[in-house]
Amino acid sequence: MVVELFTPPRRAGRPLTVALVNNMPDGAFTDTEDQFRRLVSGAGPNLDLELYTITAIERSDRVALAIDARYRDLDELWTRPPDALIVTGTEPTQPDMRDEPTWPYIARLLAWAADSVPTVLLSCLASHASLLFFDGLQRERLPHKCSGVYAGPVANPADPLAAGLAEEMVTPHSRLNEVPVTALVDAGYRIVVGGEESPVGWSVATRDIGNAQFVLCQGHPEYGTLSLLREYRRDVRRYLQSRGALPYPLIPDGYLSRRAQRTLAEFAAVATSANHDPQQLAAAFPYRQIADSVQNTWRAPSMTLYANWLELARAAVATVA
């Protein structure tokens, strides 16, 4: 694949430009923007966040209006290389990522970013796409969805990405697949958070590709307080709509109080019984009752991770300047 490159000179003293390529489906599109905006804006002053998406993907009227108001088409990015790039994941729909409708766009974006952007941060499925594109590493299907908040060891406290983090970092995970730690290390990646001793493998890893440092997040440090609960409610509704054809989702680990877990377990017992109306039961999901009890335990370390990443971007820009 040949990508036409144009790299305008970077000016010292100007705001650091961070581009966000939002690939999330309609139900999570604006929430995802808000999540990344909070992390980026909390990483210090003098930052400009620019929004991009694949406008060729069909959208609902509500999301299309948001895109028209504040997003640029991905094609505009090629002549506007940012100082730092974030690429979101999306909900997987195909066993092979290369069959996803977004794959041609993401493949071109990854190839371009390796030559044109100092540092790139990839979220969840985007990380798996990068591992497949650059390293030929196939993700592996998990026995059941990995959903919850998990602690992973910080591999090296002296790592610039780990500055200020405790010995362990808690990170939300929500995924159906993984790339094993051993495959990642064998491909030359440095584990930042997680590892073989973590119940969910690696959370954050990095290596240089081309001219860029790639930071891969298999978890979701950007998630808001209620993101996992909203996804769990969505998965419960899908189970109800399938009338039992899909497996009932597991309650997210390490995320809810014991009381909230009991409430959801009682709801699951009713939902998996023979006699219920799916539509009425979906409406009765105890979302507000559970939401009021959720504690966000990952926001502070996530802010630190992003601040460290953007400091690396600043250093790279200063070196070029």
CA distance 156 to 141: 29
* Structure tokens given for 143: 């026995």
316 Cβ neighbours under 8 A, 6+ residues apart = 83, 118, 119, 213
Q: Is 222 labeled as catalytic in the residue annotation?
A: yes
CA–CA gap between residue 286 and residue 85 (Å, rounded)? 38
The catalytic position among 124, 128, 178, 217 is 124
Taking the CA atoms of residue 20, residue 25, residue 30 and residue 33 in that order, the dihedral angle to the nearest 10 degrees is: -20
Alpha carbons 124 and 86: distance in angstroms, whole number: 11
Residue recorded with tokens 């028209």: 68
Catalytic residue among 128, 217, 220, 231: 220
Reply yes or no on whether 220 is catalytic: yes
Q: Which of 33, 100, 178, 222 is catalytic?
A: 222
- Tokens describing residue 57: 């993907």
Contacts of 271 (CB under 8 A, 6+ apart): 236, 239, 240, 248, 281
Question: Is position 144 annotated as part of the catalytic site?
Answer: no
Rounded Cα–Cα distance for residues 147 and 140 (Å): 16
Distance CA 320, CA 241 (A): 54
Q: What is the DSSP letter of 251?
A: P
Helices 299-320 and 29-41 meet at what angle, rounded to 10?
70
Catalytic residues, by residue number, are 124, 220, 222
